[in-house]
A = this chain, B = another copy of it.
């Protein structure tokens, strides 16, 4: 086995950063030499995340205290907007470093699409040329070569894993796609907010971002690219009283497939060799509990009562397959490790 890659993690105090460490510290090909969290600089990791106290990690430092010339790979867990400037500097000043970004800044293939969605123009649009959209199962070739790997949003990951093969095959129509989604509260991050307090989010289900969520244009980009047409999708997320887990319930019209069985067959073919994607047996219903804490994705298809429609359901863990796990999967692809290294753990159930 090759010697471990020297890694920096930017934004180690967020949930995706912490989950990357949870998984990554057991990766024989990864050595974390710098962890940043500007507001916690100087602290031991165990004081910010006691569950990482067993990991023997370096103390947190500020972003500006990292010597990136000594780094092979930068994992970036910074909020959107924050990573653009820093990543641009790192990429330009360190010719051999590669960046795996778990944030939103490099997900739009056309950087001009970024501003309208995220409220400010992209400041490093030129980097989009060296960036790959990191939906592993669908973009391995570009991931292998890219300087920047932009990991998809959690919702796009689940939605696209479920729908992309169907769109590519023409099995479903791109008209009138209704993507009703449900997520645990970790998707909202660790910064204290009233709506993710246990007293508010607990024992309730609450839609949010109805019609305006930022993951909708990202889904539309990839569906549109696969279909060769511009598409608009309904994307309606709901906050669920649980920590982890994401479920996409896609209500779609049939294309050239006759029914749910035919649609399921298309997915089974498309993912036959994929270690992390499982198409469930007919009738078995995916639950987020079946993938908790893991990099796996469970999908199934059901007939609708409305003729000509099917319901495609996909479950992932938003922090793992939807973020940190997929980031490691992409690292494995990009650096030539076995793709399942460090993310092969089975789901934690119950």
Proximity bits, A204-244, B CB within 8 Å = 1, else 0: 11111011000010000000000000001111101011111
A325 and B119 CA atoms in complex are apart in Å by 46
Q: Does A309 contact B (CB under 8 A)?
A: yes
In the bound assembly, the distance between CA atoms of A47 and B204 in angstroms comes to: 18
Chain B CB within 8 A of A194 CB? yes
CB distance from A90 to the nearest CB of B (A): 27
A247 adjacent to chain B (CB < 8 Å): yes
Interface-forming stretch among A48-56, A104-112, A137-145? A48-56
Task: Choose among B25, B232, B281, B287 the residue that contacts A305 (Cβ–Cβ < 8 A).
Answer: B232
Would you call A192 an interface residue if the criterion is a C-beta within 8 Å of the partner chain's C-beta atoms? yes
- Indicate if the CB atoms of A211 and B292 lie closer than 8 Å: no
Quick one: which of A46, A197, A211, A278 has the most chain B CB within 10 A? A197
Q: Are B211 and A288 in contact (CB under 8 A)?
A: no
Bound CA span A251–B176, Å:
10
CB–CB A205/B26 < 8 A: no
Q: How many copies does the complex hold?
A: 4
**Shortest Cβ distance from A310 into B: residue:** B211
Contact B345 A18 (CB under 8 A): no
- Interface residues in A265-321 (C-beta closer than 8 Å to B): 275, 278, 280-281, 284-294, 296, 298, 302-307, 309, 311, 313
Is A346 among interface residues, defined by CB-CB distance under 8 A?
yes
Which residue of chain B is the closest to A285 with respect to CB atoms?
Answer: B207
- Which chain B positions have C-beta within 8 A of A120? none
User: Are B211 and A199 within 8 A (Cβ)?
Assistant: no
Give which listed residue, B22, B178, B243, B275, contacts A199 with CB less than 8 A: B243
